[in-house]
Amino acid sequence: MATHRLGIIMNGATGQLSRQQHVASLLAIRAEGGLPVSNGDRIMPDPIFVGRSADRLIALAAQTGITRWTVDLDEALANIEDIVFFDAAATVGRFDLLRKAIQAGKHIYTEKPIAGSTDDALALVRMADTAGVKHGTVQDKLFLPGFENLLMVSRSGFFGRILQVRVDMGRWVFDGTLRKGQRPSWNYRKSGGGGLVLDMFPHWRYMLDALVGRITAVSCSCRTQIPRRIDEAGIPYDVDVEDSVFAQLEFESGAVGNIVSSWTTRTRQEASIMVHIDGTLGSAVATPQDCYTQAAVNTPNGRAAVEAGDPNEYLKDWLRVPRTTVPINSYRAGWEMFIRHLIDGGDYPYTLRAGVKGVQLAELAYQSNHERRWVDVPSLE
């Protein structure tokens, strides 16, 4: 049994998402002596951090013990011993960065969205296939315990015929006046590839495709509720993208969906993301950590509370789905699956092709909002 080095170029390494999730995931694998693969060998990730600020890269290196870093992406891409390119930098530059990495012969694992348009996303797939490199897209929410169990419930046939699905995602992101904002300012600028649709609809696409089935139409309304914010340097700026989105979906099965996504709402529910699916035989509600079901035979006789009140205690009528596996960080789960695919081969469902579908839904949602109408979602098969 041997241990093999896997050189990974981590672009945008000092960003919050990359530091807290992706870098932490690779460090956890390293701390356990590498990732075991099918032949019994272990794969040891050896990242090199790439970013624009030498000071921030030095600080990250000191924090993690990873000594390799550079502000020169071309230099990193020229190293033939680093065979994987990962990008978690600002969305606006992702297409050009991934294209450059593919041209350098690197395997690709990337945050979403993979591009700013469906045409560009499809072009990346063609380039990667032509170059013969393997590729993957981060689809972390499928590996969260609650949504993982919700997917199991759906695949079991528990719902019968699915009637409807609701996705409710929201939290308050401060504008910088009362408290510092929790998201980078480029998220609120079109020039940086910001916008709530482009950020979250790729997530909803891969989740709903897996949970309910193929989406065939979308109707979307976008709003900019807070038009002015303060950036990381304390400078006010105008927000020119949406921070709240309200969308309806139609599915090939006949089911309908409703999505509410907002950075301008205060959470008063179990979690900032809730997914609720109703079917003829049962319903389920999931947070990122837990999943609850209610079968048709256990459904109470609800009634409107006018004078006497409603005697039902609705929250008590749901059963928690037990966890059957030991949960790990959802980003780490994605990394492990991609690395095993890279080394062992075999089927891998989360390629750049899956990323194309997320970009497509976001693009058509924007079209729907602009034209104020329903827009069909054509198959990409």
CATH topology of domain 3-140+329-350: Rossmann fold (3.40.50)
Question: For residue range 18-72, what is the model confidence (pLDDT) as tens digits?
Answer: 999 999 999 999 999 999 999 999 999 999 999 999 999 999 999 999 999 999 9
**Cβ contact 6:44 at 8 Å:** yes
What DSSP string describes 33-70?
TSEE-TTS-EEEEEEEEE-S-HHHHHHHHHHH----EE
- At residue 308 the predicted structure's pLDDT band, cuts being 50, 70 and 90, is low
Question: For residue range 118-168, what is the model confidence (pLDDT) as tens digits?
Answer: 999 999 999 999 999 999 999 999 999 999 999 999 999 999 999 999 999
Q: What is the pLDDT of residue 302?
A: 74
- 284 closest CA partner among 254, 318, 251: 318
pTM: 0.94
CATH code, residues 141-325+359-376: 3.30.360.10
* Percent of the chain topping pLDDT 90: 90
Q: What is the pLDDT of residue 307?
A: 61
3-state secondary structure of 86: strand
3-state secondary structure of 351: coil
Q: Range(s) for CATH 3.30.360.10 in the chain?
A: 141-325+359-376
Strand blocks (E) in 252-374:
256-262, 273-279, 282-286, 291-295, 319-320
Question: For residue range 324-350, what is the model confidence (pLDDT) as tens digits?
Answer: 888 899 999 999 999 999 999 999 999
CA dihedral 268, 190, 192, 264 (to 10 degrees): -10
- 199 closest CA partner among 180, 217, 176, 173: 173
Q: Range(s) for CATH 3.40.50.720 in the chain?
A: 3-140+329-350
Token pair belonging to 37 = 């693969």
